[in-house]
Structure 1
Amino acid sequence: MTASSPTPRKALLIVNPTAGHYSEKRLTGFVQHLERAGLTVQVTKTRYQGHAADIVQNRPPETDFIIAGGGDGTIAEIAHAMMENPCPLSLWPVGSANVLALELNIPFSDAHNATLIASGQTRTLWPGWLTTEGQTSPTLFLQMAGIGLDGWVVQQLSSTLKKRIGRLAYALTALRLPFAYPFPAFETCVDGRTYHSCLTIMSKGRLYGGPFRLFPHNHHEEPGFSIFMLHRLNPLALLRQLLAFCCRKPCPDPAVSYIKGQTITCSGNKPVPVQSDGDFRGMTPCCIASAPTPLQIICPTRNQPPSEGRSFFRRYSLNIEKRRC
């Protein structure tokens, strides 16, 4: 009598077909890698904003885990829908920036990523909750939220341009800031202490805008956030922080603050744009806090450094070449 082979684990792959680095050819290849790794894969593509959440809520009951295919915004939407009925989440980073994948050292090679997903090794991630003006329930984010200049850039970003040139679209949109953005100041209250700022960034991780390190530590496995605040519009201060940002060296300046916090509220005389994980979320006033429960995400062990710098750009170039083939 021969022993029966184990039943293949069943994965639901939810894909955003408008993601910056998605292609049908790449999807076919990734599914083949997953099947070679011993998984049974069901593929569902999103058709409209919010569709990913509907797919998660109506997923087959025998689903062992979900693979989120897209950028940071798509991943956050899927993760949010999984909070009420959790199972392990894994990532297929095919978005424009893929900051969370870089932070968690997810392989950008589809073959290596399929092997990682099949291994099933997980880490606990503690997301953030964001509530903006008029929202009846909070929005989950996994990497970061930005208020002020940051939110305005995402609000004004052309989805067509983002699809065409990726992260460069953010930089081109930011060039319009001096001519189109009024730079209103607002109050940021962190754990009861109030600051004046024109830009506030709350992050669970270290990376910002791709492979660039903004904070020294991450808070993915615990409640709380790293917080950056620009208190006043000072071109010299911005230039110094940009150089420090690129050189990864601290640059103390009274125009900026780096602190940690648990609960953050932002408000002011005028509404200010808010974004999280690269998607526009509305206007202030807003409140940021930790989600009530953590998520399990399939990724390498935490003692490995985030994928950043030159190795990221090499992988990015390889992905572009694959799309051209």
Structure 2
Amino acid sequence: MRSCQPPARHKALLIINPTAGRHSPRRQATFVKHLQGAGLDVRVMETRYRGHAAEIVKTHLPAADLIIAGGGDGTIAEIAQAMTGGSCPLALWPVGSANVLALELGVPFHDASNAALIAGGQTRTLWPGWLTTEGQASPTLFLQMVGVGPDGWVVQQLSTALKKRIGRAAYLLTALRLLSAYRFPAFETTVDSRCYRSRLTIISKGRLYGGPFRLFHYNHHEEAAFSVFMLHRLHPLCLLKQAWAFLCRKGCTTPAFSFIRGQTITCPGSQPVPVQSDGDFRGTTPLHITSAPAPLTVICPARNQPPSGERNFFRQYSLNIGKRRY
């Protein structure tokens, strides 16, 4: 009589940033129980310093069937970069302050639901971005967005302790300091050989910015492209004039801002301008952005909004005010 062997349990490596804003030992223990109850063998490793997550991946990846990144967008990006070129899928446990990527991909914030999603194994193939800045020895991977100018300054000046204590509100308080401390210098942004003068540039794979706030209409996570927002002029009257022209569906001859789509973005920079990606400071311009050399397999729900009509959207300037649809 042949004996029936129980099905093999998948081996999951859970890498956790214990300083993440929404992490706690109790929540971690509960999440691990949910994963085990869903049929996973879980090994837990906690990071101790910047770059440690990548070291953990390189050491333990061969023995894992999947890796779960527990932290914010910066921790997830660090782990994803260490996994570049491999076939192991990445899952997310969003316990950071903003968790923009998890919001973008529809990953549940309810831990039991997320554990069930991870055990189910439904995946999407994403194309991350690849950036280099002044003095970088090698490119840095990003999964959601890059900010150049005031955006980079805020992340550079952000207090880690304040971020841990009050979450996303720390970004707002730091941004208020920006009004008196930052000079808003103009710099050049080149998108697929088209040159612009900008005071703030945001390059994004997704639609969301700063949490649940939609800045762009569609995402480009599954293709080698980016959405680009550029703020050209700071004068309040110019900004109001363009907003009014947009609402009235009229053109604006002297745009204060613009939205375009591109595949290669550079900021040469005659003077250093701060840069951030996925919530971590990345140095200063010169900046070069293109798609990563390999895709990434991520466990998340199926995409529920196809990018139809995207080309028409990027022909016009937009603010995405309120719930208005374009």
TM-score with structure 2 setting the length: 0.88
- Report the RMSD for the aligned CA atoms in angstroms: 2.1
Q: CA contact under 8 A between 1:240 and 1:251: conserved in structure 2? A: no
Name the CA distance, whole Å, in 1 between partners of 2:10 and 2:124.
Answer: 19
1:89 alignment partner in structure 2: 90
1:200 alignment partner in structure 2: 201
Alignment of 1:157-176 (within 5 A): 157-176=158-177
Alignment of 1:106-117 (within 5 A): 106-117=107-118
Label 1:91 to 1:183 Cα distance change in 2 as closer, same or farther (>3 A). Answer: same
Label 1:13 to 1:238 Cα distance change in 2 as closer, same or farther (>3 A). Answer: farther
Name the CA distance, whole Å, in 1 between partners of 2:235 and 2:115.
Answer: 46
Name the CA distance, whole Å, in 1 between partners of 2:281 and 2:163.
Answer: 14
Q: CA contact under 8 A between 2:242 and 2:256: conserved in structure 1? A: no
Name the CA distance, whole Å, in 1 between partners of 2:199 and 2:57.
Answer: 37
1:38 alignment partner in structure 2: 39
Label 1:275 to 1:250 Cα distance change in 2 as closer, same or farther (>3 A). Answer: farther
2:14 aligned partner, one-letter code: L
Name the CA distance, whole Å, in 2 between partners of 1:208 and 1:55.
Answer: 29
Alignment of 1:67-86 (within 5 A): 67-86=68-87
Q: CA contact under 8 A between 2:149 and 2:199: conserved in structure 1? A: yes
Q: CA contact under 8 A between 1:105 and 1:304: conserved in structure 2? A: no
Q: CA contact under 8 A between 1:88 and 1:296: conserved in structure 2? A: yes
CA displacement 1:145-196 (0-9 Å, x = unmatched): 0100110111111111111111111111010122100111100011011000
CA displacement 1:221-271 (0-9 Å, x = unmatched): 000100000012223455788999xx9x99975100000000000022210
Label 1:221 to 1:167 Cα distance change in 2 as closer, same or farther (>3 A). Answer: same
Name the CA distance, whole Å, in 1 between partners of 2:139 and 2:234.
Answer: 30
1:19 aligned partner, one-letter code: A
2:121 alignment partner in structure 1: 120
1:155 alignment partner in structure 2: 156
Aligned with 1:146: secondary structure?
strand
Q: CA contact under 8 A between 1:263 and 1:289: conserved in structure 2? A: yes
Cα offset, 1:144, TM superposition: 0.3
Residue 186 (str. 1) matches residue 182 (str. 2):
no
Once structures 1 and 2 are overlaid, which stretch shifts more, 177-186 or 105-114? 177-186
Name the CA distance, whole Å, in 2 between partners of 1:26 and 1:250.
Answer: 49
- Can you give the 5+ residue segments of structure 1 that lack an aligned partner in the other structure? 306-325
1:220 alignment partner in structure 2: 221
Name the CA distance, whole Å, in 2 between partners of 1:27 and 1:83.
Answer: 26
Aligned with 1:58: secondary structure?
helix
Q: CA contact under 8 A between 1:185 and 1:268: conserved in structure 2? A: no
Name the CA distance, whole Å, in 1 between partners of 2:118 and 2:111.
Answer: 10
Q: CA contact under 8 A between 1:37 and 1:115: conserved in structure 2? A: yes
1:143 alignment partner in structure 2: 144
Name the CA distance, whole Å, in 1 between partners of 2:34 and 2:48.
Answer: 25
Name the CA distance, whole Å, in 2 between partners of 1:129 and 1:10.
Answer: 29
Residue 233 (str. 1) matches residue 234 (str. 2):
yes
2:65 aligned partner, one-letter code: D
Q: CA contact under 8 A between 1:12 and 1:42: conserved in structure 2? A: yes
Q: CA contact under 8 A between 1:130 and 1:289: conserved in structure 2? A: yes
2:284 aligned partner, one-letter code: M
Name the CA distance, whole Å, in 2 between partners of 1:164 and 1:35.
Answer: 30
Name the CA distance, whole Å, in 1 between partners of 2:295 and 2:63.
Answer: 22
Aligned with 1:3: secondary structure?
coil
Name the CA distance, whole Å, in 1 between partners of 2:18 and 2:240.
Answer: 37
Name the CA distance, whole Å, in 2 between partners of 1:98 and 1:12.
Answer: 20
Identity %: 70
Cα offset, 1:293, TM superposition: 1.1
- Can you give the 5+ residue segments of structure 2 that lack an aligned partner in the other structure? 307-326
2:6 alignment partner in structure 1: 5
1:172 aligned partner, one-letter code: L
Residue 283 (str. 1) matches residue 263 (str. 2):
no
CA displacement 1:65-109 (0-9 Å, x = unmatched): 000000000000000000043410000000000000000000000
Q: CA contact under 8 A between 2:147 and 2:275: conserved in structure 1? A: yes
Cα offset, 1:62, TM superposition: 2.5
1:44 aligned partner, one-letter code: M
How many residue pairs match? The answer is 302
Aligned with 2:154: secondary structure?
helix
Label 1:60 to 1:267 Cα distance change in 2 as closer, same or farther (>3 A). Answer: closer
